[in-house]
Amino acid sequence: MRVFGLGNAESTYNLEDFIKSEALEERIYRLRCVEGWSMVVPWVGFSLADMLKKFEPNSKAKYVEFTTLYDKFRMPGQKRCVLRWPYVEGLRIDEAMNELPFMAVGLYGDVLPNQNGAPIRLVVP
């Protein structure tokens, strides 16, 4: 993961940098997909707010942007023109620093599978 912007900890990080330093927890949230379906999922991960605090965002930071990996070879679904790739999502900084948004690395007690956004995905209830 590459982190940059209006903070004091710009760098490239490995997933392990966050998993080792965070106590993983389970949170049960309803997933409402943009495709129109929903289900209740027991996610495993850590607080987005706790992760962001490590990057020390300054007072000028207004948003947090999340951009997916764009690799048509490893992710052949990106060859379809269903969405503009890479997929980009964002939260206002106050939304991101709330305790509810969650960085999931697993679900149902297992490692997060590819079809659910592996290796890590943002979950915002």
Residues 6+ apart with CB under 8 A from 103: 18, 45, 46, 47, 48, 51, 120, 121, 122, 123
Domain-by-domain residue ranges, the chain? 2-110
For residues 112 and 119, the answer to whether their CB atoms sit within 8 Å is: yes
Whether the pTM exceeds 0.85: the reply is: no
pLDDT digits (tens, 9 = 90+) for 18-69: 787 567 999 999 988 777 889 999 999 999 999 899 888 988 999 999 988 8
Query: CB of 105 within 8 A of CB of 19?
Result: yes
Q: Are the C-beta atoms of 38 and 31 separated by less than 8 Å?
A: yes
Residue 118 has pLDDT above 90, yes or no: no
The burial class, CB within 10 Å (0-12 / 13-18 / 19+), for 31 is middle
Per-residue pLDDT tens digits for 61-101 = 999 999 888 888 887 888 888 888 888 899 999 999 999 99
Superfamily of domain 2-110 in CATH is Oxidoreductase, molybdopterin-binding domain (3.90.420.10)
Nearest Cα to Cα of residue 104 among 11, 26, 1: 26
Give the model's pLDDT for residue 81: 80
Q: What is the pLDDT of residue 62?
A: 94
Quote the CA–CA distance of 80 and 72 in Å, as a whole number. 9
The predicted pLDDT at position 49 comes to 94
